[in-house]
Amino acid sequence: MDKHLKGTPIFVSAIIGLSCLVFFLDNLRIHTVYHAFLGVCQLTILVITIFYFRYYIEKVNKERSNEFNELDQLNRLLIDVTPTGIVLINNDGIIKYVNKAAGNILGSTKTAGLNILEFDTVKKSNLYGGIVKATKGIYSEVLGERYTSFTTRTKKVLNFYVSPVMAENTQGISHTILFIHDITQEGKLKEEIEKTYLSTIEALVGLVDARDKYTGEHSKNVSKYTMMLCTELGITDGEELRNIELAAHFHDIGKIGVSDQILNKPVSLNDAEYDQMKKHSSVGADIIRKIEGFEEISEIIRHHHERWDGKGYPSNLSGNDIPYGSQIIAVADTYDALTSDRVYRKGMPKEVALKIIFEEKGRQFNQEIVENFVSMMARASVERIY
């Protein structure tokens, strides 16, 4: 029997008993007594009915309240023991709740009541924009954020998943939830793997440069000219600068697959040899692409021999379809090639090399990049870096 209906037999018995008494008096036709007692019975039945249903409703509500409390406690327990950090924020940025995992990740659970948007460490991070977006109903992910704790100033690498919470009775946003994953250890492991791989590639770059009798410092030269040009062009984004610098340093890594006879041939290459040489940019890009997160660097390397007019290789890209980093490296690479001694000729003077490059603006090179490079090198007091 349903636990809510345990009291039903008593109620039913009382109703049946009163009904039988009414029926008995009706048969006796003792009208005066009958009518008086009938009114009492009807009133009694009404009172009993009201009382019972009130008792039943209170009992159900109490039991449901207990069930809700148990469910609420279970939910809180699950939130507290989950390894995912959870922070609840209202639309003004006030922190309403911080679970234990978030406290362990961020350094404290005692930030409830503070405005997260006023934390200096949040203002300097990409998390700030994610929270602002959430107040407008936009979900966002802030991945690999190098975040400094507001309370302990410890530095960690975190993934933030920023989700808006819809209000129950309106169409607006009531809160924002931050889900936080600490990937610091994974980041350190990735950095170690990256360092190991880059050290191997660095050794290969040294090997490539060493195989060329006349341009042993070519990779370093191109990297230096490239970074000087980036400064001249006003590039300040840290990640973009890093990608261009690494691409410049490793741009000729693909020559590891080109034979010494072709690299050091004292006369012009024939068509077959030139086709072999042209493969080095794609080979180098494929080597670098094996490093996670180096996809953009790989593409810069792949296209550093494209031409502005679309007559370059390997993809015949033209204009701004060529990655910007590739356009910069192309100018720096050409300048170092022209001013370096080669097995088949002596290096050109700076003025001659700059004149050749200037004449190729709008054909081989981006005009703006050429003009900035020529202006920069005209002010420089050295012919070459190395």
Out of 27-41, 45-59, 262-276, 366-380, least confident range: 27-41
The long-range contacts involving 112-118, CB below 8 angstroms and separated by at least 24 positions, are 116/87, 116/89, 117/93, 118/93
Contact call for residues 307 and 363 (beta carbons, < 8 A): yes
Query: How confident is the model over 260-279, as pLDDT tens digits?
Result: 888 888 888 899 999 999 99
Contact call for residues 253 and 279 (beta carbons, < 8 A): no
Contact call for residues 169 and 82 (beta carbons, < 8 A): no
The secondary structure of 330-363 as a DSSP string is: HHHHHHHHHHS-BTTBPPPPHHHHHHHHHHTBTT
291 has pLDDT over 90: no
75 has pLDDT over 90: no
Contact call for residues 148 and 154 (beta carbons, < 8 A): yes
Max Cα distance, the chain (Å):
139
- The more confidently predicted of residues 325 and 170 is 325
Report angle CA 204, 209, 215 to the nearest 5 degrees: 165
Burial level of 351, CB count in 10 A (0-12/13-18/19+)?
exposed
Take residue 216 and report the two structure tokens written for it.
């042993």
| Highest-scoring range by mean pLDDT, 85-94, 248-257, 321-330, 335-344 | 321-330
Nearest to 307 by CA among 326, 332, 325: 326
- In sequence order, what are the residues at sequence separation of 6 or more whose Cβ sits closer than 8 angstroms to the Cβ of residue 277? 258, 262, 269
The per-residue pLDDT for 4 is 46
pLDDT (mean) for 130-149: 90
Take residue 310 and report the two structure tokens written for it.
């679309």
Query: How confident is the model over 229-251, as pLDDT tens digits?
Result: 999 999 999 999 999 999 999 99
Helix (H) or strand (E) holding 238: helix 238-249
Contact call for residues 115 and 92 (beta carbons, < 8 A): yes
202 has pLDDT over 80: no
Take residue 138 and report the two structure tokens written for it.
């936009």
- The identity of residue 329, as a single letter, is I
CA dihedral 208, 211, 214, 218 (to 10 degrees): 10
Q: Is the preceding omega at residue 314 within 30 degrees of 0, hence cis?
A: yes
CA gap 220, 203 in Å, rounded: 13
- For 125-141, b/e burial (b = at least 16 CB within 10 A) is bbbbebbeebbeeeebe
Contact call for residues 253 and 205 (beta carbons, < 8 A): yes
Nearest to 281 by CA among 264, 257, 260: 257
The secondary structure of 259-294 as a DSSP string is: -HHHHT-SS---HHHHHHHHTHHHHHHHHHHTSTT-
The per-residue pLDDT for 66 is 57
The per-residue pLDDT for 341 is 80
135 has pLDDT over 80: yes
21 has pLDDT over 80: no
